């Protein structure tokens, strides 16, 4: 039996450069930076004092304040992005079989704000002062739980957790549920809210994050020779995936077709990528093959591109080993140069950028690219967005633990 085709029909985003998809996309095309000094806690004692924070987000536009107090910020962001995606899709839930609509929304880390605040209560005021909502605020799977309750959606409902590959795994897994007939519509993506002292201490002591404190806007510089680490970001990216016939019957707008997925493991190290990028390369090859395409069909790669010394050169190696000479004909860019690294939400916002690149015929730049690195010698769309036809694109996500995801997206054709 032929697999059912899956299309993207709705988008929702909360990002450091805009709290909706329109602001996010325009910010990318303008090369806008969402990175500045940390404001959500006192970062004086920390080596890194910069972050890509969400700004001017009003949770009460989406959730009643009493209810919001019983949720962590990552849940706020995820619900907001999910509601935006549903609205954008024009799905009339009252006319749908809600048991055929599922939700896979995830977080790489979960309720870090809640952990921090409740642990402080425990130490200062004793165990009886810890909120009875602490565990539900903490666990990543509470986000799809809340969202299904909010909209009465009875289809597949859970989280995937794979660090920085989290929301790409969520989207790829949702794709499989539609393909095999478990659902007609899936709400998929991820959310993250980790602007806490504990997060910064952990990532900082790993030497994973940038300490370019004198120039925050230019701190995230994927593929640039002077890159010194990623910049922690927060936010959410959610997409509506829909079985093609279901979308066509209701006259849905279609951004792009999600055509193939590749899931692999490096089986190498808990945090470092394989030095030859073999797991990433296999993920890209599998995704293209799963889509029924040839590697020469790919026009653009929305790279994982973290701005860490190891990731960028190993991802470049992986692209070259996958595509051979065609690698030098590809446009490759990393939006983390502008929005920072949204960790478990990164794959969601990056798939949105990839789908819009296909729909609108323009790819976002890699900003802050100033000094070429001999080990990173591809076309990284430096500093300015580029108008070009994009028929087939990959969106890459790689997570601590050696988790690799590549999503193959193509222009929708009947």
- Whether residue 252 contacts residue 242, with contact meaning beta carbons closer than 8 Å, is answered with yes
CA–CA gap between residue 17 and residue 27 (Å, rounded):
6
CA-wise closest residue to 155 among 175, 136, 182: 182
Intrachain domains 6-249 and 262-410 with the same fold: yes
**Whole-structure pTM value:** 0.97
pLDDT tens sequence across 300-355: 999 999 999 999 999 999 999 999 999 999 999 999 999 999 999 999 999 999 99
Domain boundaries along the sequence of the chain: 6-249, 262-410
Q: What is the pLDDT along the chain (414 residues), one digit of tens a residue?
A: 468 999 999 999 999 999 999 999 999 999 999 999 999 999 999 999 999 999 999 999 999 999 999 999 999 999 999 999 999 999 999 999 999 999 999 999 999 999 999 999 999 999 999 999 999 999 999 999 999 999 999 999 999 999 999 999 999 999 999 999 999 999 999 999 999 999 999 999 999 999 999 999 999 999 999 999 999 999 999 999 999 999 999 999 999 999 999 999 999 999 999 999 999 999 999 999 999 999 999 999 999 999 999 999 999 999 999 999 999 999 999 999 999 999 999 999 999 999 999 999 999 999 999 999 999 999 999 999 999 999 999 999 999 999 999 999 999 998
Class of domain 262-410 (CATH, top level) = alpha beta
- Whether residue 277 contacts residue 318, with contact meaning beta carbons closer than 8 Å, is answered with yes
> Count of alpha carbons within 13 Å of 82, Cβ hemisphere only?
31
**Can you give the pLDDT at residue 2?**
64
Pick the CATH number of 6-249 from 3.40.50.10150, 3.90.550.10, 3.40.47.10, 3.30.2130.30: 3.40.47.10
CA–CA gap between residue 149 and residue 276 (Å, rounded):
44
Q: Which residues are catalytic?
A: 164, 304, 341
């Amino acid at each position: 039996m032929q697999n059912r085709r899956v299309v993207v029909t709705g988008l929702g985003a909360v990002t450091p450069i805009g709290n909706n998809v329109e602001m996010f996309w325009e910010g990318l095309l303008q090369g806008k930076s969402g990175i500045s000094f940390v404001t959500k806690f006192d970062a004086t004692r920390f080596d890194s004092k910069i972050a890509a924070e969400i700004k001017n987000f009003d949770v009460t536009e989406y959730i009643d304040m009493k209810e919001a107090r019983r949720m962590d910020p990552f849940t706020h962001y995820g619900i907001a992005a999910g509601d935006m995606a549903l609205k954008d899709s024009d799905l009339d839930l009252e006319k749908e079989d809600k048991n055929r609509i599922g939700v896979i929304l995830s977080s790489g880390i979960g309720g870090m704000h809640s952990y921090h605040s409740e642990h402080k209560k425990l130490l200062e005021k004793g165990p009886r002062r810890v909120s009875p909502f602490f565990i539900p605020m903490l666990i990543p799977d509470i986000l799809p739980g809340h969202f299904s309750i909010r909209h009465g959606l009875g289809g597949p409902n859970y989280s995937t957790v794979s660090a920085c590959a989290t929301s790409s795994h969520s989207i790829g897994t949702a794709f499989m549920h539609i393909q095999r007939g478990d659902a007609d519509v899936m709400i998929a993506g991820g959310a993250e809210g980790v602007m806490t002292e504990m997060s910064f201490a952990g990532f900082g002591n790993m030497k994973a994050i940038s300490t370019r404190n004198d120039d925050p806007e230019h701190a995230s510089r994927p593929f640039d020779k002077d890159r010194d680490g990623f910049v922690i970001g927060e936010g959410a990216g959610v997409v509506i995936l829909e079985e093609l016939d279901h979308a066509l019957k209701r006259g849905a707008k279609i951004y792009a077709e999600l055509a193939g997925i590749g899931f692999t493991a490096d089986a190498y190290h808990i945090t470092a990528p394989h030095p030859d990028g073999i797991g990433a390369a296999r993920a890209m090859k599998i995704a293209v093959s799963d889509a029924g395409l040839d590697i020469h069909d790919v026009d653009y790669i929305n790279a994982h591109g973290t701005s860490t010394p190891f990731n960028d050169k190993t991802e470049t190696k992986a692209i070259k080993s996958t595509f051979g000479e065609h690698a030098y004909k590809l446009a490759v860019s990393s939006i983390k140069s502008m929005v920072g690294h949204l960790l478990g939400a990164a794959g969601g916002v990056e798939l949105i950028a990839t789908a819009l690149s296909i729909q609108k015929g323009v790819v976002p730049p890699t900003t802050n690219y100033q000094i070429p690195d001999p080990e990173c010698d591809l076309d990284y769309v430096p500093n300015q967005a580029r108008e070009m036809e994009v028929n087939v694109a990959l969106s890459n996500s790689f997570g601590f633990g050696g988790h690799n995801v590549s999503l193959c997206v193509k222009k929708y054709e009947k």
